[in-house]
Amino acid sequence: MREMTFKSASELSHAYILVSPAPEERLEAAKTIAAAAVCSAPGKVPCGNCRACRKVREGIHPDVIAVRRLVDDKGKQKREIGVDQIRTVVSDAVVLPNEAERKVYVIEDAECMNLPAQNAALKLLEEPPRGVILLLLAANAESLLETVRSRCTEIVCGSHAAEGDAEGQKLAAAFLKRCAERDEAELFRWCAANENLDNAAASAFVESAIGLLTDMLCRRKSSLGLSDRECYDLVTLLEHAGDMLRLNVGVKHVLGLLAVRGIGNQ
Ligand SMILES: [Zn+2]
């Protein structure tokens, strides 16, 4: 359990897609969200210390249900998560939770859901029973149906903040702070003060900023008050800036773009 960034469990969305090429990163994010959903602490969740949080951590909370690929007679894991497994989830989801106020289904390797299974999952996403949270873990969200994706909050997990150099990290933190403070004049001043960076330094800054935002979305770092939506919009903007730098567009021009679009109006 790292940063605790949900003000309360009611802040949680009813469905998430947690994306990372590394299974342990997806699971880590899933445990944090699941713990937030069932945590019994009064303030920010997950507290990490209550009985519910500890049970989630140990994988023994009765209201946090893992759905995995089944194992065949020869002890080999099946390639797909079939529709029957998801139908079981759908019928179980209407049953009240055991201990907590919410119930969380963690579908590991969600991209292994075959088409009928994904369509069955859609039913849950379209009419989620009260207090039910669905976590879809995937290496790549693109393998999921668009109709599924459009109903989930997508979080890209990963320790990307290590990317970029130390100077890039410093610039990224300074840039995001100004975006979060919504101080347009200050953001303009900052961008103007850095317009003489060379292309490599600017690229390192952009890369670091994307890494920081990814960590914010994964609740590894404080979001400084930026909403998930704002983080996503900034990632999109910075990716665009990175593309421009790769095409050798002038740093001054790229920072100008960030100054104009860094706050709220992407
Ligand atoms: Zn707790």
Confirm if 104 and 63 have CB atoms less than 8 A apart: yes
Verify that 69 and 184 share a domain, yes or no: no
- Cα 236 to ligand 1 centroid, rounded to whole Å: 34
CB burial string 185-218: b at 16+ within 10 A, e below: eebbebbeebeebeeebbbbbbbbbbbbbbbbbb
Whether residue 195 sits in one domain with residue 76: no
| 151 Cα to the center of ligand 1, angstroms | 27
**Residue 118: both structure tokens together:** 């994904």
* 131 and 166 share one domain: no
Q: Which of 88, 121, 156 is the last residue of a domain?
A: 156
Residue 221 in any domain: the answer is yes
192, 215: one domain? yes
Residue 37 Cα, ligand 1 centroid: separation in angstroms? 9
Please check whether residues 227 and 133 belong to one and the same domain: no
Domain that holds residue 217: 160-261
Alpha helices of the chain — where are they, by DSSP H? 23-38, 51-58, 83-92, 115-126, 146-149, 166-181, 184-193, 199-217, 228-246, 251-261
Structural domain contains residue 2: no
Q: pTM of this prediction?
A: 0.63
- Considering its fold, how many domains does the chain have in total? 2
Ligand 1 geometric centre to CA of 12 (Å): 15
Domain boundary among 131, 156, 181: 156
Q: What is the pLDDT of residues 38-91, one digit of tens each?
A: 999 998 899 999 999 999 999 999 999 999 999 989 999 899 999 999 999 999
Find the farthest-apart pair of alpha carbons in the chain and give their distance in angstroms, rounded.
Answer: 66
Q: Which CATH number do you get for residue 95?
A: 3.40.50.300
How many whole angstroms from 180 Cα to the centroid of ligand 1?
A: 28
Residue 106 lies in a domain: yes
Q: What is the DSSP string of 171-225?
A: HHHHHHHHHHHT-HHHHHHHHHHTTT--HHHHHHHHHHHHHHHHHHHTTSS--TT
Claim to verify: residue 113 and residue 171 sit in the same structural domain: no
Per the listing, tokens 């998930």 go with: 228
| Angstrom distance (rounded) from CA 111 to CA 136 | 8
Q: For residues 171 and 247, state if they share a domain.
A: yes
Residue finishing a domain among 113, 139, 156 = 156
Task: Please tell me the distance from the alpha carbon of residue 43 to that of residue 219, in angstroms, as a whole number.
Answer: 17
CA 178 – ligand 1 centroid, Å: 32
Same domain assignment for residues 193 and 139: no
What tens digit of pLDDT does each residue of 181-221 get?
A: 998 999 999 999 999 999 999 999 998 999 889 888 887 77
Q: Is residue 1 part of a domain?
A: no
